[in-house]
A and B are shown apart, each in its own frame.
Chain A
Amino acid sequence: MLLGRVVGRVWCTVKSPALEGQRLLIVQPLTPELTTTGKPLVCADCTGAGAGELVYYTRGKEASYAFLPAEVPSDNTIVAIVDELHIKRGPPC
């Protein structure tokens, strides 16, 4: 799973029936230091994440498991909204 920030939304009227009711958000991947890395991507959302929120998302086949038992064709899904992030600095223990 990877960290990202919600930076936008995608609206589709015509879509696969399995995607009906799913929110599609644009997520900018981030490093743990919250600097941007890589290109923005389109994610489905199972958490109700809002604009500008720090989230983490899962990729690949597992992204569709967030919606089980429904079979949603998603390869990137936001699975959690981040409350806090703790990173230990300095030499490893």
Chain B
Amino acid sequence: MILARVAGTVVATRKDPRLEGKKLLVLRLVSPEGNLESGYVVAVDTVGAGSRELVIAVSGSSARMAEGCKDRPVDTVIVGIVDSVDLDSPAG
């Protein structure tokens, strides 16, 4: 799973019918220390995440196991809103 911050929304009128009703958000990858990293992904939101919130997202085929995403053409899904991240020591 990846840590990411919600950076924006995506609106698509014409899309696969199995994506109807799914909220699409733009995520910016974040390190565990909270620093923004390079790279954006578009993810389906299943938890009601809002703008600027820190979230975890699952990617790949495991993403389809998230709530309401079975047999849908998605590969990144937001599965949690992060309350806090604890680090034991500086990673790396």
A-side residues, CB < 8 A to B, are 6-19, 24, 26, 28, 36, 39-44, 51-52, 60-61, 63-64, 71-76
Residues of B within 8 A of A71 (CB): 65
The number of chain B residues with a CB under 8 A from chain A is 35
- Cα A14 to Cα B65 with chains together (Å): 17
Number of A-B contacts (CB under 8 A): 113
- Cα A93 to Cα B85 with chains together (Å): 45
B-side residues, CB < 8 A to A, are 1-3, 31-32, 37, 46-48, 56, 58-67, 69, 77, 79-89, 91-92
Q: Assess the B81–A10 pair: CB atoms within 8 A.
A: no
- Cα A44 to Cα B47 with chains together (Å): 18
For A75, give its contact among B58, B80, B92 (CB under 8 Å): B58
